[in-house]
Amino acid sequence: MTKNKLTREQKESIVLLSIGTFLEYFDLLLYIHMAVLLNELFFKPTDPSSAALYASLAFCATFVARPFGALLFGYIGDTRGRKTSLVMTTFLMAASCFTIAILPTYAEIGVTASIIMVLCRISQGMSSVGEIIGAEIYLTETIESNLKHPATAIVGTCTALGGMVALLIATLCMSYGLNWRMVFLFGTVMAFIGLIGRKRLRETPDFVDFQQSSKRILDKSSILDDEDKKMIMKDPILNQKTNKITALNYFLIENMGPICFYITFIYCSNILKDSFGYTSAEIIYHNIFVASAELLSLIILTCLSYKIYPLITLKIRFIIFCFFAICFPYLLDNVKTPSELMLLQLGLIFLTPTSISASPIFLKYFAVPRRFTWATLLLSVSRAIMYIIVSFGLTYSTIHFSNQGLLFILIPISIGFAFGLFYFIKLEKESDNYPTGWTYKPYVKKDSLEELETWFKENKKKSINK
């Protein structure tokens, strides 16, 4: 057995990936939080219906384009390497951010500005999905010990930090007249700095081992006759496949995040606007405190993941969340002040079952040759479908059933999450990785078992000879 300890190179990779993820999500969410201001500049101001259509397109394009980004960067990540995909997503985000910073307004170039803005949002959406999954896969395949769980949690926390800083910057721009172009230029510069840093990363051992093993097998097959070649091409290394049931259950788990995010930041913001007469600036200011709470909850989860097995934490949070979710619509009906609404938002934020530290557990059950593609595609499809469902489904259900209409989406999503969670718990128990208590099972290096067996055999022989 060996102590959980990170090497200097592993620590450096965590820092580089965390900074890159922070910058990616800062750039991605900056536009969303500043939409009220930017939509007036880049979409036709004299036609409200057209402006709303383009604005909705710019928002939805971010998430709808993700599956295409998953296919592209998933293919690159599985064929050219995890590092290559990470570098390319960072470059694409930086280029999109720079384009937005220098893009002329609608008043200057007309509808061309609207089209270019939508294309920039599409490219940002495509790069963002490869970013977070790429970082999680990189750390999962690079760090062998149980420290991979807090490491990936740190990267996930940086996504929330990027969103919160973007919210703060949006407040400065809208309330104090900060030049929004300078903000996007700053994001571009920082993204390019992250790009340079990421070029220092090494490729992951899992990917390198698979590539080298595949090359040896293929090189050997080239000198064999057809019958032997068919036999060797059936080698398990070349034919690793991801279980479809595993993929489905991962998809069910990832569906929870978008629902809770939408209810917390979009649905509750509409309540602030319609019931309490909040302006856009006041809603943003209100949501800064909510985003701060989200960041705090992720930091707490990261700290817990150093000692507590992630699936246990996830299971406890999910059970408590189920009781809270059932009561949530009725509590909303009795909200009298914005402060009371914020308390409900904070409760939802702290109880949302997030897979932030459990990602390495899920990802290891995807076969290495297609791990990047499967994970990014499932995550992106989940986000696209869920945001479409909540955008239209919640509107319809809450019109007819008021706040109780939330349950029409929360209940089936929670049931699906339960199936996914207990499926992976079952896999971990079958692999003898699930602990009997709260903490991790002692980590044993891959080659340590063989060394121990050899040691016992040698000592057994010595004792017999004596």
Sequential DSSP letters for 160-217 = HHHHHHHHHHHHHHHHH---HHHHHHHHHHHHHHHHHHHTTPPPPHHHHHHHHHHHHH
pLDDT at 115: 83
Q: Would you state the pLDDT for residue 453?
A: 46
Residue 70 dihedral angles phi and psi, to the nearest 5°: -65, -45
Largest CA distance in the chain: 97
pLDDT of residue 269: 86
CA 326 to chain centre: 26
Residue 74: inside a domain, yes or no?
Answer: yes
Asked if residue 211 is part of any domain, the answer here is: no
* pLDDT per position as a tens digit, 427-466: 999 988 888 888 887 665 544 444 444 444 444 444 444 4
State pLDDT tens for residues 357-388: 899 999 989 988 888 888 888 988 888 888 77
Domain count, the chain: 1
* Region class of 277: left (phi > 0), else alpha (psi between -120 and 50), else beta: left
Q: Which of 118-132, 249-263, 336-350 has the lowest mean pLDDT?
A: 118-132
Task: Kindly state the tokens that stand for 152.
Answer: 């990936």
Structural domain includes residue 295: yes
Between CA 288 and CA 341 the distance in angstroms is 14
Q: Residue 233: which pLDDT band, with cuts at 50, 70 and 90?
A: very low
pLDDT at residue 145 is higher than 70: yes
Q: Is 362 left (phi over 0), alpha (psi -120 to 50) or beta?
A: alpha
- pLDDT bin (cut points 50, 70, 90) of residue 317 is very high
Residue 251 has pLDDT above 90, yes or no: yes
Q: What integer pLDDT is reported at residue 21 of this predicted model?
A: 82
Q: What CA–CA distance (Å, rounded) separates 12 from 104? A: 39
Q: Specify the residue for token string 């590092």.
A: 83
Give the pLDDT confidence of 154-168 residue by residue, as tens digits. 988 988 888 888 888
pLDDT at 282: 83
Q: Residue 17 above 80 pLDDT?
A: yes
DSSP 105: -
> Is the sign of the CA dihedral 395, 409, 296, 24 positive or negative?
negative
Distance of alpha carbon 426 from alpha carbon 317, whole angstroms: 18
Helix, strand, coil percentages in the chain from 3-state DSSP, rounded to 5: 80, 0, 20
Best mean pLDDT range from 26-35, 126-135, 386-395, 404-413: 404-413
pLDDT given for residue 118 in this prediction: 79
Q: How far apart are CA 121 and CA 92, in angstroms?
A: 11
Give Cβ neighbours of residue 146 (< 8 Å, ≥ 6 apart).
4, 440, 443
DSSP letters for 95-142: HHHHHHHH---HHHHTHHHHHHHHHHHHHHHHHHHHHHHHHHHHHHHH
Is 465 inside any structural domain?
no
Q: Say yes or no to pLDDT of 45 above 80.
A: no
pLDDT confidence of 296, banded at 50, 70, 90?
Answer: very high
Residue carrying structure tokens 């990363």: 201
Helix (H, G, I), strand (E, B) or coil at 46: coil
Mean pLDDT taken over the chain: 80
pLDDT for 230 beyond 60: no
DSSP 335: -
Q: What pLDDT, on a 0 to 100 scale, did the predictor assign at position 341? A: 94
Kindly state whether residue 462 falls inside one of the protein's structural domains.
no
The residues near 361 (Cβ < 8 Å, ≥ 6 apart) are 149, 310, 311, 424, 428, 433
Predicted pLDDT of residue 58? 59
Q: Which residue has the tokens 């149980």?
A: 146
Model pLDDT, residue 331: 93
Dihedral angle of Cα 118, 120, 121, 125, to the nearest 10 degrees: 140
Number of CB atoms found within 10 A of residue 9's CB: 12
Residue 346 has pLDDT above 90, yes or no: yes
Residues counted in the chain: 466
Least confident residue range of 21-25, 198-202, 234-238, 278-282: 234-238
Task: Write down the pLDDT at residue 4.
Answer: 63
Cβ proximity of 187 and 24 under 8 Å: no
234 within domain boundaries: no
Predicted local confidence at residue 401, as pLDDT: 85
Q: What is the pLDDT of residue 399?
A: 79
pLDDT at 54: 56
Q: The domain spanning residue 126 has which CATH number?
A: 1.20.1250.20
pLDDT on residue 240: 64
Residues of the domain holding 66: 8-203+240-450
pLDDT confidence of 71, banded at 50, 70, 90?
confident
Q: Summarize the confidence of residues 341-348 as an average pLDDT.
A: 93
The CA distance from 396 to 392, in Å, is 6
| pLDDT, average across residues 261-285 | 85
Mean pLDDT of 25-31: 76
With a pLDDT cut of 70, the percent of the chain lying above it is 82
Lowest model confidence (mean pLDDT) among 123-127, 164-168, 172-176, 222-226: 222-226
Residue 418 lies in a domain: yes
pLDDT at 212 over 80: no
Position 455 in a domain: no
Quick one: pLDDT band at residue 315, thresholds 50, 70, 90?
Answer: very high
Separation between Cα atoms, residue 243 and residue 320, nearest integer Å: 30
Q: Quick one: which of 158, 117, 164 has its CA closest to 135?
A: 158
Rg of the chain, C-alpha, whole Å: 24
With beta carbons less than 8 A apart as the criterion, state whether 329 and 187 touch: no
Quickly state the pLDDT bin for 59 (edges 50, 70, 90): low
